[in-house]
Amino acid sequence: MIEYAIFFAGICYGAALLLDLWRIAVGPDAADRILALDTMVVNVIALLVLYGLWRGTAVYFEAAMLFAMVGFVSTVAYCRFILRGDIIE
């Protein structure tokens, strides 16, 4: 049963990724793109967790944690760039 759930969830997150990609491609402005990229990071993290569940190992969970920790930093950096120009003031 869990396989089906994982498969279904995977399909959903995959579709979400494609939608993110679409948003990044068409914009129209920088904030849209940054938000889409951040969402993309979240979706990838979700996929990593799903993959870990499917393979039954904790290694991927850790990787997902690290993605979460550093992924947010680049989002902040992009945002600071469009808000203030200089990311380290």
Partner 1 sequence: MLIIMALLPFLGALLPSLMIRAGRNACAIFTALPTFLALVILLILSPSVMRGEVLQAELAWLPQIGLSASFFLDGLGLLFAGMILGVGLLITLYARFYLSGEDPMGQFYTFLLLFQGAMLGIVLSDNILLLLVFWELTSLSSFLLIGYWKHLPEGRQGARMALAVTGSGGLAMIAGMLILGNIVGSYNLTDILQAGDAIRASDWYLPALILILLGAFTKSAQFPFHFWLPQAMAAPTPVSAYLHSATMVKAGVFLMARMWPVLSGTDAWFNIVTTTGLITMVLGALIALFKNDLKALLAYSTVSQLGLMTMLLGFGTQVAAVAAVFHIINHLTFKAALFMTAGIVDHETHTRDIRRLGGLRHLMPVTFVIATISALSMAGIPFLNGFLSKEMMLEEASHTGLFGSPSALPILATIGALLSVAYSFRFVVHVFLGPVRDDYPHKPHDPPFGMWAAPALLACLVVLIGVAPFLAEGIVTAAANAVTGADLHPHFKIWHGFTPALWMSVVAVVSGAILLLQYGMLDRVWEALPRPEAKTIFDHLVAAVVAGARRVTEITHNGAISRYLAIFTIASVALGWVAYSGGGLGPRTRDLLAVPLVVAVGWLMLIVATGYVVVNHHHRFRALVLIGVIGLTVSAGFVYLSAPDLALTQISVETVTIMLLLLALHFLPKVTPRESSLALRLRDGAIATVAGLGVGGLAYAFLLRDTDTISDYFIANSYEGGGGTNVVNVILVDFRGFDTYGEIIVLGIAGFLIFSLMHALLDGPAAKRLRARDYSQDRSHDRHPLMMVVVTRVLMPIAMVVGIYIFLRGHNAPGGGFVAGLVVAIALLMQYMASGFAWTQARKRIEYHTLIGMGVVIAGLTGAGAWLFGQPFLTSAYTYVHIAPVEEFELATAMLFDLGVFLTVLGAVMLMLYSLSRIARFAGETVNMEPMDYDPSEHVDDGKVKV
- Contacts to partner 1 by CB under 8 A: 10-11, 13-15, 17-18, 21, 24-25, 27, 30, 33-34, 37, 40-41, 44, 47-48, 51, 59-60, 62-63, 65-67, 69-71, 73-74, 76-78, 80-89
The three-point CA angle 32-74-82 to 5° equals 50
- Residue 53 to residue 19: CA distance in whole angstroms: 24
Least separation in angstroms between residue 11's CB and partner 1 is 6
In whole angstroms, how close is the CB of 4 to partner 1 at the nearest point?
14
Contact in structure between 78 and 35 (CB atoms under 8 Å): no
Element (DSSP H or E) covering residue 25: helix 2-26
Q: How far is the CB of 59 from partner 1 (least distance, A)?
A: 5
